[in-house]
């Protein structure tokens, strides 16, 4: 590691010690929907009896899938979130999600 990997966070003695690492932007591989298999399931456990449709085992590319989750929520007309490398859509929306993802070119299992 070199000196440029750190940034000054706080120094009360004026020494200017480099304490914290800089956040480096990660680069992710582009997503090709025709080569990507997404898995779909419904979950009810731990959600107060309410069901949630979950798209899981998605490739690592948070910016792409955050945008995709926003499009999915709009297409289904419900809320949801993208967290822990899964897309969660409120309610049993499996058929709408499957149709939407297949239209985008993804292969959907489950």
Question: What is the torsional sign of CA 74, 107, 93, 86?
Answer: negative
Domain boundaries, the chain: 25-109
Q: What is the number of other CB atoms lying within 10 angstroms of the CB of residue 55? A: 27
14 vs 94: CA distance, rounded Å = 58
Q: Please tell me what DSSP assigns to residue 3.
A: G
Q: What is the pLDDT of residues 51-96, one digit of tens each?
A: 999 999 999 999 999 999 999 999 999 999 999 889 999 999 999 9
Is the predicted pLDDT of residue 46 greater than 60, yes or no?
yes
CATH 3.90.76.10 holds for 25-109: no
More reliable by pLDDT, 60 or 17: 60
């Amino acid at each position: 590691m070199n000196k440029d990997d750190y940034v000054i966070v706080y120094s009360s003695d004026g020494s200017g010690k480099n304490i914290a690492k800089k956040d480096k932007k990660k680069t992710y591989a582009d997503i090709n929907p025709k080569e990507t298999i997404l898995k779909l399931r419904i979950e009810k456990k731990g959600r107060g009896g309410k069901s949630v449709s979950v798209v899981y085992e998605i490739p690592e590319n948070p910016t792409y899938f955050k945008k995709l989750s926003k499009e999915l929520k709009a297409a289904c007309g419900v809320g949801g979130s993208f967290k822990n490398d899964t897309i969660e859509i409120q309610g049993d929306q499996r058929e709408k999600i499957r149709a939407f993802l297949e239209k985008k070119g993804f292969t959907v299992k489950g």
